[in-house]
Amino acid sequence: MGGENIMSVEYVAAKAHVLRTYLIAPSYIRDYLVGARTLKDIASGLSMTYYRDKLVSLGQKVTKEDLIRVINGVFEERYAILTKQLPDPFSSFVDAYIFRFDIRSLLRIMGEIIANIPHGPVSSYGYAFSKINYGQLLKIRSMEDLLSALSYTPLKSAVPLITELWEKYQSLHAVELALWSSYYRMLISFLQELPSDVQDPIWRVIGTEIDLVNISVILGPMIYGYSIDYLDRLLIEKTLRVSIADLKKVYGLEPELITSVVPDVYREVVEKFLTGRDYQAKTLAERIVLREVLSILPRNPAGFEFIFGVLKLFEFECENLRALIESVAYGLEKDIIKELMVV
């Protein structure tokens, strides 16, 4: 790594320190914002935070869409500030990481194509940092053409596998799993390009996410009796704490209890999945990732791990606020909203 790169990383890390101070305190979300009864209450609660200036333009009548647009706008702005001056290979890693947002939009487009329903406006799919030209993509009318178009995205190496699974199973679920496993494999390859001292802390976060994805994948057929044909191929081999060989034992001739093959840290998540409480399991899983993020922040306050950690915190804040807005719009109770918050 050159001296110039180190300077740039330190410079961006300094910016990350400043941006971190703008984050909403977890206690403010947990104790105050979750108590909001209306969207106006949320807007009023957010006006005490960094979001104040952005909310001014909304006027008196606040809608769910307006608030979500503001939240996404702030996330895009923060992401741009953090990544604009990042040198390679850090910027390539971050670009690869942020592709997860595009995968969600891709899935939505695929669902609409399969169900043969019209697409929404282009702006509802893409973000300012999107690596996909959604204007072109939305003109595609068949899954086959859409999968071919993936060759022009960072997932180009996964196109043959995804196409094969689609042709064989004609199932969005298979395509979705293939997209996510390809995404994490791609992310691991970009991670390996980073300096060795940075890899370990970042891997703790990404590895935790991969462990949780693998656990969720392995539980599907076990609880709900789905076919395991393709699941076996889609488990991500490189893991942090869980062992793929152990996970596969739950389908062996002498099946083992899933709770006995996962590390203690994930046990509660598994228990929630087993009782069909997926949304609680997901929140718990995200809280585990959050704990990993918070644990890597103090390691090197001037390094890339700090920048990545702060980026993750922005993502969590964005997701928390979106979930809060949606929940209040649905009229969910405070206790359930608390269960959905990753704080």
Q: Name the site residues for another protein (rule: CB under 8 A).
A: 104-105, 107-108, 110-112, 114-115, 117, 169, 171-174, 176-177, 216, 220-221, 223-227, 273, 276-279, 281-283, 323, 326-327, 330, 332-333, 336, 339-340
For tokens 């929140």, the residue is: 283
Nearer to another protein, 242 or 281 (CB): 281
Q: Closest approach of Cβ 238 to another protein, in Å?
A: 20
Q: Which residue has the tokens 């003109």?
A: 139
Question: Can you say whether residue 124 is alpha, beta or left, with left for phi > 0 and alpha for psi between -120 and 50 degrees?
Answer: alpha
Residue type, 141: R
Shortest distance (Å) from residue 278 CB to another protein: 4
Minimum Å distance from CB 231 to another protein? 9
Smaller CB separation from another protein, 20 or 287 = 287
| Least distance between another protein and beta carbon 219 (Å) | 8
In the complex with another protein, the residue whose CB is nearer, 176 or 211, is 176
- State which residue, 96 or 215, has the beta carbon closest to another protein: 215
Phi, psi of 106 (to 5 degrees): -60, -40
SS3 content of the chain, % helix, strand, coil (to 5): 75, 0, 25
> How many Cβ atoms are within 10 Å of 336's Cβ, its own excluded?
13
66 closest CA partner among 101, 49, 42, 98:
42
Amino acid code (one letter) for 203: W
Q: 192 CB contacts (<8 Å, ≥6 apart)?
A: 199
Residue 213: CB minimum distance to another protein, A:
9
Kindly tell me which of 6 and 172 has the beta carbon lying closer to another protein: 172
AA letter at 340: L
Smallest separation (angstroms) from another protein to the CB of 217: 8
Integer Cα distance of 119 and 125 in angstroms: 9
Tokens matching residue 212: 């949780």
- Considering the complex, state which of residue 273 and residue 306 has its C-beta at the smaller distance from another protein: 273
